[in-house]
Amino acid sequence: MHEYAGNLHSHTPYSDGALYHADLAQAGLRAGLDFLLVTDHNIWVDGVQGYHTAPAGKKLLLLTGEEMHNMQRQPQSSHLLVYGVPHELAAHTSDPQMLLDAVNAAGGLAFVAHPFDPAAPHFGEAAYAWEDWHVHGFHGLEIWNYMSEYKSLMTSTTAAARYAFFPAHGISGPPPAALHKWDELLAAGQTVTAIGNADAHGNTYNLGALRRCVFPYEHLYRAVNTHLLLPEPLRGEWRADELAIYAALRAGSCFVGYDAPAATRGFRFSATVGATTTNMGAQVRLPTGAALQLHAHTPALCNLRLLHNGTTVASAVQADALDYTVSVPGVYRIEASIKFHGRMRAWIFSNPIYVRE
Ligand SMILES: [Zn+2]
Ligand SMILES: [Zn+2]
């Protein structure tokens, strides 16, 4: 498999971000990313997609999607990340199911953005959580949104300023409600792909006397990312490579990595039966008369947990691998945590391997 690290959620001045696409691409290149999906609010920006090159020659593929919601609604909740639709869908936002139907009819992908976004009442910020769980047709959840987690830390001016200067002291993982909802949907038989993103705006905030660009794009691109595993290497032609990236996302062949404590590149989670190995996102039949082995490998020592239908069934402390023989069907996924700034932090979330009867 060929691994590509990227970020699927950023804004430019086409909505409420500070910098344009070429600057985001350079920030992504400095952070070591391979691709960016830029998602302005309720506007699909065409004509900016393509490869960008760093002075040292490294390349980054920039693509555009859209973050969509009903702007008439108060609070303006239920944001949906839409990828792979080559035309504007803003006319469909009045109803979330109508929007999802339009995305699917166009062959696109839809992920629920920051599903449990908290309010920050001290700063007059409403919660932009997902309020429409009755809908169907989305492909996954943004389980970890860096800026949404920062919002949860803004409990006072002092706390907001502290974590603005030292965000790594506060950032520690997705909201538990997001992981719980993910497991609940998986247990109901749905295929749900998890992604993790920056939600980068690069904006300057006023926090009392403090005024600074709190979270530059580059800082965020070194933090919560989505790593894709592709069966073939990207070719260097953006239109073909765009399809390969969407295919991997659609297949759930990806994981969420918090790349600040240690690079997550190299993480793998696979299932082996005999000579056949399949990766994250795969649907695997529980074999009769042969063993189904799960294998997880991390690029650094960490604490590992294997979850079966949301419950831990195996774990390892200060390890870089975990093996498990499956005897019952269900949904299996890996969580890894690592020590950073004196505390254990969430580090890696695999996508599931679906073991069916
Ligand atoms: Zn949003
Ligand atoms: Zn956003």
Sketch the domain layout of the chain as residue ranges: 2-258, 268-341+351-356
Confidence of residue 213 (pLDDT cuts 50, 70, 90): low
pLDDT, tens digit (0-9, with 9 covering 90-100), for 110-134: 999 999 999 999 988 899 999 999 9
The mean per-residue pLDDT over the stretch 323-346 comes to 98
pLDDT of 181 over the 70 cut: yes
Burial class (CB in 10 A: 0-12, 13-18, 19+), 120: middle
pLDDT, residue 161, reads: 87
Q: How far is the CA of 293 from the centre of ligand 1 (A)?
A: 39
Fold of 268-341+351-356: Immunoglobulin-like (2.60.40)
pLDDT of 172 over the 60 cut: yes
Strands (E) in 146-275, as ranges, are 193-197, 204-207, 210-213, 224-230, 254-258, 268-273
Neighbour count for residue 357 (Cβ, 10 Å) = 7
Do 221 and 202 form a contact (C-beta atoms < 8 A)?
Answer: no
Q: How far is the CA of 67 from the centre of ligand 1 (A)?
A: 7
Q: How far is the CA of 318 from the centre of ligand 1 (A)?
A: 36
**Average pLDDT of the chain?**
96
pLDDT, residue 193, reads: 98
Fold of 2-258: TIM Barrel (3.20.20)
Closest C-alpha among 212, 183, 181, 216 to residue 198: 216
pLDDT, residue 30, reads: 98
Q: How far is the CA of 79 from the centre of ligand 1 (A)?
A: 5
pLDDT of 331 over the 70 cut: yes
The mean per-residue pLDDT over the stretch 207-213 comes to 57
Give the Å distances, CA to CA, from 162 to 1, 155, 159, 166.
40, 11, 5, 6
Identity of the residue numbered 242? E
The mean per-residue pLDDT over the stretch 200-220 comes to 76
Ligand lying closest to the C-alpha of residue 203: 2
| Beta strand pairing call for 268-273 and 330-340 | unpaired
pLDDT of 211 over the 80 cut: no
pLDDT, residue 321, reads: 98
Cα atoms found within 13 Å of the Cα of residue 25, Cβ hemisphere only: 18
pLDDT, tens digit (0-9, with 9 covering 90-100), for 278-306: 999 999 999 998 899 999 999 999 999 99
pLDDT of 214 over the 90 cut: no
Q: How far is the CA of 113 from the centre of ligand 1 (A)?
A: 6
